[in-house]
């Protein structure tokens, strides 16, 4: 930020002072460790923590019908069932998972041809 090129475009240097870490000195290793511990928060799309996989996959948590293995009456219907991170915003994929889940639930409860299923 203090290079000649940045000075020419008048780019301001950001203030990275964090009061919680100020006691460790200015720009010391201890300060930056404290800064990272306070400021390093996940801000992306959470996914892939309850992998949907066939029963033969020991790392799978959720069946292809979105039921949690070994737990009766529980389904997971969100981005956590995706086995891998997608390279784009996962919202459309989550919509597809939710739509598929609604079809599966209607099938399991024999609701495909009822009025409630068509609303």
pLDDT tens digits along 24-52: 998 899 999 999 999 887 667 889 999 99
**30 Cβ partners below 8 Å, 6+ apart?**
21, 24
Closest CA to 14 of 26, 3, 2: 2
Nearest to 32 by CA among 22, 42, 43, 45: 22
Report the residue count for the chain. Answer: 119
What pLDDT sits at residue 115? 66
In terms of pTM, does the model score above 0.85? no
45 a catalytic residue: yes
Q: What is the pLDDT of residues 37-94, one digit of tens each?
A: 998 876 678 899 999 999 999 999 999 999 999 999 999 999 999 999 888 889 999 9
Looking at residue 17, its pLDDT comes to 87
- The active-site residue, picked from 34, 35, 45, 60, is 45
Torsion of CA 45, 105, 65, 88, to 10 degrees: -20
């Amino acid at each position: 930020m203090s290079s000649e090129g940045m000075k020419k475009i008048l780019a301001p240097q950001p203030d990275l002072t964090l009061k919680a870490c100020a006691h460790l000195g200015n720009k010391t290793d201890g300060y930056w460790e404290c800064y990272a511990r306070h400021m390093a928060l996940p801000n992306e799309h959470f996914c892939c923590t309850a992998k949907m996989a066939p029963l033969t996959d020991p790392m799978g948590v959720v069946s292809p019908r979105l039921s949690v293995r070994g737990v009766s009456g529980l389904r997971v219907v969100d981005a956590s069932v995706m086995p891998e991170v997608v390279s784009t915003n996962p919202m459309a994929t989550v919509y597809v998972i939710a739509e598929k889940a609604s079809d599966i639930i209607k099938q399991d409860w024999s609701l495909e041809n009822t009025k409630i299923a068509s609303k």
